[in-house]
Amino acid sequence: MTAETTTTTETTDPQNRQPLVEIDSVSKRFGPHLVLDDVSLTVPHGSVTAIIGPSGSGKSTLLRTVNHLEKVDGGLIRVDGELIGYRRSGDNLHELPEREVRRQRSKIGFVFQDFNLFPHLTVLENVVEAPVSAQRRDRSEVTELARSLLARVGLAEKEGAYPRQLSGGQQQRVAIARALALRPAVLLLDEPTSALDPELVGEVLEVIRGLADEGVAMVVVTHEIGFARDVADTVVFLDRGRVVEVGPPASVIDAPSHERTRAFLRRFR
Ligand code: ADP
Ligand code: MG
């Protein structure tokens, strides 16, 4: 693989001294409802974290705080050493202007449950769009990278197709290629297979597994417990906005120490 097509996560910290993602005591309210309650989590470089938990437990909200799609009410988030959404001056935090937030967001790949491809753009155009417009990278360089990423997710022949002409599994693989084209420091995936027909889940999980094998750092919200066990370095069980249990799959999935984790996992047996 050439340097250009390498998607192993980039870092400004080659010594890996600090975590890639650091979620520090984050709280988030929607009105009176505390949906994230003092959540702390660190994601080391090159690692995969799976977030599991019941519907409504705050998984999506947590992912969305990492790229400042949701503002936190308390706590801090750093990605690759950079404070997200704020700048510090003395003891005070000042919100970053939208332009800066967009720059930060473009370093954080996000894959949504429902793909969110641009319906009026071809597959190739979907992948090329953001690096050119948001990151002002050279179109021909990005196009070359986009083609290699499409080949990587098994869709080289589909570059001229429109999203509506693809299956859900194919669309989600395009969405993954699109996120990687940003050369993100970390890839966030929010239930990437839950909108798919069962027979299409495997092809998307295979792509994600391949990225994990190459060292792409990811945080993935998933109900695919077997996949989390195989691929994740760390599993986080979130319930009612709190981290109930965190650790390697062998403990959180196979030998959970909390009754709430056990009760949740029983549904998947
Ligand atoms: P999960 O992804 O684990 O299913 P979410 O993060 O989507 O959970 O939601 C956590 C809680 O926050 C839920 O009770 C949900 O109804 C609530 N919630 C999420 N987004 C909003 C919003 N924009 N406004 C108000 N409440 C919200
Ligand atoms: Mg969700």
H or E element that contains 52? strand 48-52
Q: Is residue 108 part of a domain?
A: no
Tokens representing residue 178 in the block? 């699109």
Amino acid identity of 5?
T
Mean pLDDT per 10-residue segment, the chain (269 residues): 45 66 98 97 96 98 96 96 93 93 92 96 97 94 98 97 98 98 96 96 97 96 97 98 98 97 93
Ligand nearest to the CA of 114: 2
Q: Is residue 16 part of a domain?
A: no
Confirm whether pTM is higher than 0.90: yes
Give residue 150's domain range. 117-183
Ligand 1 neighbourhood includes 55 CB (under 6 angstroms): yes
Q: Is residue 32 part of a domain?
A: no
Name the residue at shortest CA distance from atom 6 of ligand 1.
58
Name the residue at shortest CA distance from atom 13 of ligand 1.
56
H or E element that contains 146? helix 139-152
Ligand nearest to the CA of 57: 1
Ligand 1 neighbourhood includes 180 CB (under 6 angstroms): no
Q: How far is CA 10 from the centre of its chain?
A: 15
Q: Is residue 143 part of a domain?
A: yes
Q: Is residue 137 part of a domain?
A: yes
Whether the CB-CB separation of 110 and 180 falls below 8 Å is answered with no
Whether the CB-CB separation of 132 and 167 falls below 8 Å is answered with no
Find where tokens 């990811």 sit: 218
H or E element that contains 93? strand 92-95
- What span, in angstroms and rounded, lies between the C-alpha atoms of 135 and 162? 24
Which is nearest to 65 in space by CA: 52, 57, 56, 74?
A: 74
Q: What is the ipTM of this complex?
A: 0.98
Tell how far the Cα of 154 is from the centroid of ligand 1, in angstroms: 34
Q: Is residue 267 part of a domain?
A: no
Q: Is residue 1 part of a domain?
A: no
- What tens digit of pLDDT does each residue of 152-197 get? 999 999 999 999 999 999 999 999 999 999 999 999 999 999 999 9
Q: Is residue 172 part of a domain?
A: yes
Name the residue at shortest CA distance from atom 26 of ligand 1.
30
Name the residue at shortest CA distance from atom 12 of ligand 1.
35
Ligand 1 neighbourhood includes 97 CB (under 6 angstroms): no
- What span, in angstroms and rounded, lies between the C-alpha atoms of 61 and 49? 16
**DSSP string computed for 161-206:** --GGGS-HHHHHHHHHHHHHHT--SEEEEESTTTTS-HHHHHHHHH
Q: How many domains does the chain have?
A: 1
